Amino acid sequence: MERTLIIVKPDGVQRGLVGAILERFERRGLKLVGLKLMRIDRSLAEQHYAEHVGKGFYEGLVAYITAGPVVVGVLEGPDAIEAVRATVGATNPVKAAAGTIRGDFGLAVGRNLVHASDSPASARREVALFFREEELLSYTRSSDPWLLEQAIPPVW
């Protein structure tokens, strides 16, 4: 199983889309193993966006992610990083496919609703920035055998 970080950004929270966004991941079959509402301060934003330091859009990214509350989550599933990114859609919402979060709810690159880790290394680093290990839960859902290729339980 793979874990990955998502952030429903301030525009998603302010527009009341948290439930709709999280629902997309759950309907896909991904499991929430960590979730919190928080405000990202400048220090954490700088750590999160460290790879963009020096780029023209860096200050805008930091200002945007710190502008209001966010919902941060960790999702788990087979190929979770790829599944989440496909569900989120292209960075530019206008170019994102219909049926994706950004394609259905977004209009502008600078207000694209959700962050998703882009690689296993990024996912590990980002999850560790926002969650302590003891904040992440491991559990089995009764629907897992119907979502994942494993033994089907007997029908009672």
Catalytic residues: 115
Q: What SS3 class is residue 6?
A: strand
Distance CA 124, CA 117 (A): 9
Report CA dihedral (112, 123, 7, 93) to the nearest 10 degrees: 10
Which segments of the chain are extended strands (E)?
Answer: 2-8, 31-38, 70-77, 114-116
Distance CA 99, CA 115 (A): 17
Count of other CB atoms within 10 angstroms of residue 127: 21
For residues 147 and 38, the answer to whether their CB atoms sit within 8 Å is: no
